[in-house]
C-alpha cells in the first residue's frame, strides 16, 4: 500500500496531532524511538515515507533514517527538527538519504505536501529498482557518445558501457563527426579525448557549451595539471578522467549524472547562509528557491556561483533579487546543468552587493515614510 506513513517522535502529543490531522489522507503508524521505529518497519512495513524528529531517544534522527535506508532503500525519508541547523542539513543532503528537511513548527498543509511528494518518490524509486527488462522499469536508456581517435579506447569504453542495460553507446573518431551527431541525435552525455585531430576535446567542449549547454561533458587526458584543470573547468566540463582509465569510477560518475536521485529541500534557513556553506563545501548543485509566488535558480559548480535566474532577470541581477528574499524554501539538486560562467563576481561580492541593495531600499522606504508624516 503506497500511502503507509511512519512518524517517529518522542513526544506522544506531537504524534497524536500528526495522526489526527493526517489520518484521512494517509495510513499512519507512530513510534517514540528509533528502535521502536525499526521494529515497526520490520513487522508492518514497507512504508512509503518515514518521518523522524531529529532528537529521538537512543539514536538521533539521521542515524535512524540512515538505518531505514539500509533496510528499505526505496523509502522516502523526511527529517523534522525544532531548530534550523545548516551544517546538519547539508550533511544530510550530501549523504543523500534525506528526501526533505523541514523545520518545526511545520504547517500541516506543508507537511502533507511533502508526504505526497515523498510517496511519488517512493513509487519512482520502486520502479527504478525493479529488475532490468521489467516493462515497468521507469529508466529510459541514456545515449552516451564517446569521442576519441584511439580505436582501442573507443572499443574499451563502448564494451564497458554497453554491458549496462541503461546505456546506449555511440562513437565518433573526432570532434567534427561528434558535432554532426549532436545536431541529429539527442545525446545525454559526451565523453571526449582532449587530444584529437580536426577538432580537439576542448574545442568540442566549447562548441557543446555554446550550442548544447544541457549536455554534460567528460574530458579524457593523459596528464592533468593545475592549468589544464582550470581550463577544462572554465570550458564547462563537469568531470575529467586521467588515462589509463578507471572504468568503475567512470561508470559510477555516469550513473550519478544521468540517474541522479531525488532533490533535497531545506526550509527555514537563510539563503545567504546556505550559499556560503555550499561555497565552503565546494558543492556542484542547483538551488531552486521558492518564496511566495516567486521562484529562482542558483547554479553552483565546485562551490562557485556561476549563474542565476528568476523571471526575466539573469546572472548577477537575478542573484541579488533571490538572495534578498526574506523567506524561501531551498531545494537542492545535486547537479548543475549550466556550464558557462555567467556570473563573474565572487560570492562574497554578490552577497555584499545584495545587502547594499537591501539597505538602500530600506533607506528609501524610511525616507518616504518620514516625508509622508511631514505632509
- Three-state secondary structure string covering 113-142: HHHHHHHHHHHHHHHHCCCCCCCCCCCCCE
- Cβ contact 18:24 at 8 Å: no
Alpha carbons 5 and 76: distance in angstroms, whole number: 10
Owner of C-alpha cell 514497507: 46
Q: What is the pLDDT of residue 6?
A: 95
Q: What is the pLDDT of residue 127?
A: 56
Q: What is the pLDDT of residue 244?
A: 81
Given the candidates 3.10.25.10, 3.30.420.40, 3.40.50.2300, 1.20.1200.10, the CATH classification of the domain at 4-131 is 3.40.50.2300
As beta bridge partners, residue 296 has 289
Pairing of strands 189-193, 294-301: unpaired
Q: What is the pLDDT of residue 136?
A: 35
Q: What is the pLDDT of residue 197?
A: 85
pLDDT tens for the chain, 375 residues long, are 467 999 999 999 999 998 888 888 788 999 999 999 999 999 998 899 999 988 888 888 888 888 898 888 888 888 887 655 555 666 655 555 678 777 777 778 778 878 887 887 787 666 555 554 443 343 467 889 999 988 888 888 888 777 666 678 898 888 999 999 998 888 889 999 998 888 888 899 888 877 887 788 889 988 888 777 777 766 667 688 888 877 777 877 777 666 554 455 555 567 887 888 788 777 888 888 887 778 899 999 888 999 999 988 999 999 999 998 866 677 788 778 787 889 989 999 999 999 899 888 878 888 887 777 776
**In the chain, where are the structural domains located?**
4-131, 142-258, 270-365
> Residue 73 is placed in which grid cell?
532503500
Alpha carbons 235 and 44: distance in angstroms, whole number: 52
Q: Cα Rg for the chain, rounded, in angstroms?
A: 24
Q: What is the pLDDT of residue 339?
A: 74
Q: What is the pLDDT of residue 306?
A: 94
DSSP 195-230: S-SSS-HHHHHHHHHHH-TTS-EEEEES---HHHHH
3-state secondary structure of 31: strand
Give, as one character, the DSSP assignment of residue 259. Answer: T
> Residue 49 is placed in which grid cell?
515515507
- Cβ contact 193:150 at 8 Å: yes
| Intrachain domains 4-131 and 142-258 with the same fold | yes
The domain defined by 142-258 folds into Rossmann fold (3.40.50)
Owner of C-alpha cell 500500500: 1
As beta bridge partners, residue 147 has 172, 192
Would you state the torsion angle of the CA atoms of residues 356, 358, 360, 366, taken in this order, to the nearest 10 degrees?
Answer: -150
Q: In what order do the strands lie in the sheet with 264-266?
A: 27-31, 4-8, 49-53, 76-81, 100-103, 264-266, 329-333, 285-291, 294-301, 304-310, 313-314
DSSP 265-322: EE-SS-HHHHHHHHHHHT--EEEEEEETTEEEEEEEETTEEEEEEETTEEHHHHHHHH
- Cβ contact 143:186 at 8 Å: yes
Amino acid at each position: 500500500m503506497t500511502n503507509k506513513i511512519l512518524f517517529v517522535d518522542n513526544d506522544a502529543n506531537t504524534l497524536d496531532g500528526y495522526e489526527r490531522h493526517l489520518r484521512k489522507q494517509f495510513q499512519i503508524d507512530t513510534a517514540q524511538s528509533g528502535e521502536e521505529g525499526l521494529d515497526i518497519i520490520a513487522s508492518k512495513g514497507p512504508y512509503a515515507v518515514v518521518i523522524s524528529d531529529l532528537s529521538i531517544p537512543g539514536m538521533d534522527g539521521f542515524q535512524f533514517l540512515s538505518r531505514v535506508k539500509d533496510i528499505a532503500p526505496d523509502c522516502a525519508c523526511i527529517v523534522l527538527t525544532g531548530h534550523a541547523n545548516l551544517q546538519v542539513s547539508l550533511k544530510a543532503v550530501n549523504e543523500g538519504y534525506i528526501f526533505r528537511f523541514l523545520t518545526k513548527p511545520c504547517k500541516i498543509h506543508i507537511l502533507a505536501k511533502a508526504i505526497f511528494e515523498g510517496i511519488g518518490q517512493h513509487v519512482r524509486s520502486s520502479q527504478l529498482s525493479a529488475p532490468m527488462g521489467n516493462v515497468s522499469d521507469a529508466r529510459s536508456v541514456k545515449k552516451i557518445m564517446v569521442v576519441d581517435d584511439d580505436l582501442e579506447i573507443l572499443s574499451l569504453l563502448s564494451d564497458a558501457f554497453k554491458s549496462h542495460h541503461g546505456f546506449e553507446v555511440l562513437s565518433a573518431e573526432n570532434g567534427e563527426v561528434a558535432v554532426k551527431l549532436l545536431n541529429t541525435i539527442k545525446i545525454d552525455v559526451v565523453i571526449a579525448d582532449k587530444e584529437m585531430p580536426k577538432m580537439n576535446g576542448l574545442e568540442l567542449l566549447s562548441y557543446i557549451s555554446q550550442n548544447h549547454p544541457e549536455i554534460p561533458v567528460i574530458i579524457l587526458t593523459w596528464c592533468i595539471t593545475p592549468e589544464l584543470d582550470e581550463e577544462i573547468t572554465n570550458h564547462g566540463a563537469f568531470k575529467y578522467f586521467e588515462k589509463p582509465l578507471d572504468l568503475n569510477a567512470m561508470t559510477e560518475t555516469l550513473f550519478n549524472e544521468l540517474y541522479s536521485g531525488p532533490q533535497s529541500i531545506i526550509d527555514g534557513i537563510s539563503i545567504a547562509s546556505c550559499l556560503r556553506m555550499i561555497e565552503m563545501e565546494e558543492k556542484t548543485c542547483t538551488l531552486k528557491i521558492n518564496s511566495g509566488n516567486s521562484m529562482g535558480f542558483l547554479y553552483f559548480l565546485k562551490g562557485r556561483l556561476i549563474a542565476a535566474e528568476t523571471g526575466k532577470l539573469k546572472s548577477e541581477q537575478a542573484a541579488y533579487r533571490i538572495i534578498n528574499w526574506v523567506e524561501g524554501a531551498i531545494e537542492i539538486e545535486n547537479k548543475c546543468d549550466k556550464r558557462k560562467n555567467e556570473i563573474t563576481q565572487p560570492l562574497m561580492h554578490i552577497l555584499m552587493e545584495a545587502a547594499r541593495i537591501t539597505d538602500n531600499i530600506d533607506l528609501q522606504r524610511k525616507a518616504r515614510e518620514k516625508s509622508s508624516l511631514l505632509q
